[in-house]
Structure 1
Amino acid sequence: MLREARKKELKEKIFLQALQLFRDKGFEQVTVQEITATCGIGKGTFFNYFAKKEDILLYLGESQIELLQQSMEKHRNIDQPKKQILHVLDDLLHHFSSHSELMKLASMEIIKSASLAGKESKSVQQLHRQLASMINSAKQDGKLHSRWETDIIATAIVGVYFHTILSWTLLEAQYSTINESFRRQFDVVWEGIDHS
């Protein structure tokens, strides 16, 4: 377990240090050699974690999915589905905003690359599946009454989540935090979902 924690820590360090270099010099100008030198690791170690430089950007989605599963476990005992979903997605957005400038950079690079965007879609689909699972459970337990199909509800919530990230990345923030922005939009969408 300790070894796994160290591996995760090193992967996160490579990710953040590389993003810092991308921000300072531009993604195209940074080499794997520069990343390994900044992190104090060998190229072999780098390639144990990332097959190529571009894969560093995909770690944003991977780390969010890992955090999603931890957050779902942490909040599984919350009875109200709206509150549970809000807490889970708040956790993800908090992680995103804790290194906001670097995360914005990673998001922009993914948006600019069709290849990376296609690969990132796996993380989006995973988020959708996990939310659909939470919604389905809430419906089966009689905690959510909605005329909408589970898949449509999950799609709407994922849409609000990514719209929030995209707005935060591309536009000047209208709200004090990304979480506040998400909550306000989520409240509007939830009114159309829950007919309790």
Structure 2
Amino acid sequence: MSRRDRKKRQVLATLVDVTMKLFIEKGFEETTISEIATTADIGTGTFYNYFHSKEDLLKYVLAKKLDDTKDSLEDLNHSSMSPPEKIAQILLTIGKIFKENQQLFNLCNHHLALMGPPHGTEFRDILVNMIQEGQKNGDFRNDIPIEMITELFMGLIKSAITSHSKIPFEKNLSCKLSLFMNGLLEK
């Protein structure tokens, strides 16, 4: 990697770090691009060499996090675990990632007009693959359409993430996973 490329990566990483800190400390609306550039020790024009707006930077950070999540889920999909173990682990992995990045996801929900899941079909494809494997192996029921199982699973994730219950997040997730798996497993 050339010196110039290393410098670009360094500036990008600094921009992301500084901006996210400012968003969390001051709020999205209150943080200006000029303030971001000053704090990152770059010119305002340099900010625009990387991003068109604060929203673009926020989308970039979200996309990076979703790419990292997708990579983790792909590794899980190709693991030697049984389909029920994979389904359980996928939920726990997503839950952990959400908990670790809750401020980022809250910012995105409030300031980006996200229509549906921002990860496209990749996550659904991984989940469908796991369900098909489980049905083929006789681990999961075959009388429930895959579309319904994936819809319920996505609803379970959303329910745990948006829950206002006083039950701690991990326990909430674990209980919902148990309910889901008991209905999915072949008896």
Is the structural similarity TM-score above 0.5?
Answer: yes
Deviation at 1:63, TM superposition (A): 3.4
The answer to whether the 8 Å contact 1:132/1:150 transfers is: yes
Give the root-mean-square deviation of aligned CA atoms: 3.3
The answer to whether the 8 Å contact 1:139/1:145 transfers is: yes
The equivalent position to 1:117 in structure 2, one of 114, 117, 123, is 114
List per-residue Cα deviations over 1:37-84 (Å, max 9, x = no partner): 333444455445543212334346423431233222332224322221
> Where do residues 156-195 of structure 1 align in structure 2 (5 Å cutoff)?
156-167=152-163, 171=164, 173-175=166-168, 178-195=169-186
> Where do residues 43-122 of structure 1 align in structure 2 (5 Å cutoff)?
43=44, 46-47=47-48, 49-59=50-60, 61-75=62-76, 76-100=78-102, 102-103=103-104, 105-110=106-111, 116-118=113-115, 121-122=117-118
Identical columns (%): 21
Q: Which whole-Å CA distance do the structure 2 matches of 1:121 and 1:156 have between them?
A: 14
Distance 1:172 1:194, change over 3 A: closer
Distance 1:69 1:99, change over 3 A: closer
Report the counterpart of residue 38 of structure 1 in structure 2: 39
Q: Which whole-Å CA distance do the structure 2 matches of 1:86 and 1:47 have between them?
A: 42
TM-score, length-normalised on structure 2? 0.75
Distance 1:138 1:21, change over 3 A: same
Between Structure 1 and Structure 2, how many residues are aligned? 183
Q: Which whole-Å CA distance do the structure 2 matches of 1:144 and 1:35 have between them?
A: 50
- Say if 2:146 is the partner of 1:150: yes
> Which consecutive residues of structure 2, in runs of 5 or more, have no partner in the other structure?
none
Q: Which whole-Å CA distance do the structure 2 matches of 1:64 and 1:83 have between them?
A: 24
Q: Which whole-Å CA distance do the structure 2 matches of 1:107 and 1:89 have between them?
A: 21
TM-score, length-normalised on structure 1? 0.72
Distance 1:146 1:73, change over 3 A: same
The answer to whether the 8 Å contact 1:146/1:193 transfers is: no
Q: Which whole-Å CA distance do the structure 2 matches of 1:97 and 1:44 have between them?
A: 35
Matched letter for residue 117 of structure 1: L
Q: Which has the larger Rg?
A: 2
List per-residue Cα deviations over 1:116-148 (Å, max 9, x = no partner): 222x53426442232122212332344433321
The answer to whether the 8 Å contact 2:37/2:43 transfers is: yes
Q: Name the one with the larger helix percent.
A: 1
Distance 1:11 1:189, change over 3 A: farther
